């Protein structure tokens, strides 16, 4: 009997369904940028929203970019996720669809996202080939970059879901979110030096313009 309870407990923990005592603390934490690991790093803000579906509105909790290598080599993924060890002890870099990602200089493409939907089921979204080029962002000198809001529209069995840009990078509302997230951090100086950093906004199509197509991945 003891072995049976041990196996049940282990399955709950590994499936992500097990309640963590730190969850209430994490829930009330505000969006907060982490300190850069080096002077060459920049802070990228991205927001991902999804259209409501028949079974509710999925919530994205992981977002991953990959640096483009001129020689075609596979580079490590960089991004942010709300699912990590000891998250209650770390700055909360993911909240309400907002992601704060630290990146060294380079050219990056959106690689994948993960969301959680009905009954806690998770889905991985993979960016299709040509769409990666459309989602590219160039990180040059250190600073704060804003990709704006990306909105996932529902797909079908014959057509992949689409990702559209709201074109709201560095809007007044987003600047307010950024200022709160970097308050007291070394990132704050970039906003103090340049309170309207429009030159670092990713060039995107007009609001509603499609920038990427997605292929549905595995449900877990």
pLDDT tens by residue, 3-44: 544 444 444 444 444 445 456 666 778 999 999 999 999 999
pLDDT tens by residue, 93-118: 999 999 999 999 999 999 998 888 76
Antiparallel, parallel or unpaired: β 144-153 and 42-50? parallel
Can you give the pLDDT at residue 27?
72
Q: What is the DSSP string of 90-151?
A: S-B-EETTEEEEEE-SEEEEEEEEEEE-GGG-EEEEEE-HHHHHHT-EEE-SSSEEEEEEEE
User: Would you state the torsion angle of the CA atoms of residues 173, 200, 144, 84, taken in this order, to the nearest 10 degrees?
Assistant: 80
CA distance 191 to 5: 53
- Over residues 33-73, the pLDDT tens digits come to 999 999 999 999 999 988 766 555 678 899 999 999 888 78
Q: pTM for this structure?
A: 0.77
The average confidence (pLDDT) of the chain is: 76
Region 152-162 average pLDDT: 68
pLDDT for position 136: 84
pLDDT over 90 at 196, yes or no: no
pLDDT band per the 50, 70, 90 thresholds, residue 153: confident
* SS3 assignment, position 21: coil
Distance (Å, rounded) from C-alpha 20 to C-alpha 26? 10
Q: How far apart are CA 79 and CA 130, in angstroms?
A: 21
Q: Residue 145, CB half-sphere, CA atoms under 13 Å: how many?
A: 23
Tell me how many helices (H) and strands (E) the chain has.
5, 11
More confident residue, 130 or 179: 179
| Nearest alpha-carbon partner for 131 in 101, 154, 165 | 165
Supply the pLDDT for residue 195: 60
The C-alpha atoms of residue 91 and residue 101 are separated, in whole angstroms, by: 12
The stretch 69-78 carries a mean pLDDT of 86
Percent of the chain with pLDDT over 90: 33
Q: What percent of the chain has pLDDT over 70?
A: 67
What lies within 8 Å, CB to CB, of 150 at 6+ separation is 46, 47, 48, 49, 163, 164, 165, 166, 211, 212
């Amino acid at each position: 009997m003891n072995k049976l309870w041990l196996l049940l407990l282990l399955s709950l923990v590994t499936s992500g369904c097990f309640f963590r005592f730190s969850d209430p603390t994490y829930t009330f934490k505000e969006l907060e940028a982490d300190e850069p690991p080096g002077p060459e790093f920049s802070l990228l803000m991205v927001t991902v929203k999804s259209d409501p579906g028949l079974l509710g509105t999925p919530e994205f909790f992981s977002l991953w970019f990959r640096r483009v290598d001129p020689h075609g080599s596979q580079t490590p993924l960089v991004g942010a996720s709300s699912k990590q060890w000891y998250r209650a002890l770390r700055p909360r870099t993911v909240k309400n669809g907002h992601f704060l990602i630290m990146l060294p200089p380079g050219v990056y493409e959106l690689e994948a996202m993960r969301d959680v939907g009905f009954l806690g089921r998770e889905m991985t979204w993979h960016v299709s080939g040509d769409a990666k080029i459309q989602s590219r962002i160039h990180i040059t000198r250190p600073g704060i970059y804003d990709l704006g809001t990306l909105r996932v529209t529902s797909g079908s069995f014959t057509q992949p879901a689409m990702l559209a840009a709201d074109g709201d990078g560095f809007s007044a509302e987003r600047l307010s979110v950024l200022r709160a997230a970097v308050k007291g951090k070394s990132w704050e100086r970039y906003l103090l030096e340049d309170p309207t950093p429009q030159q670092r906004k990713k060039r995107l199509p007009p609001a509603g313009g499609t920038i990427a197509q997605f292929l549905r991945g595995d449900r877990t």
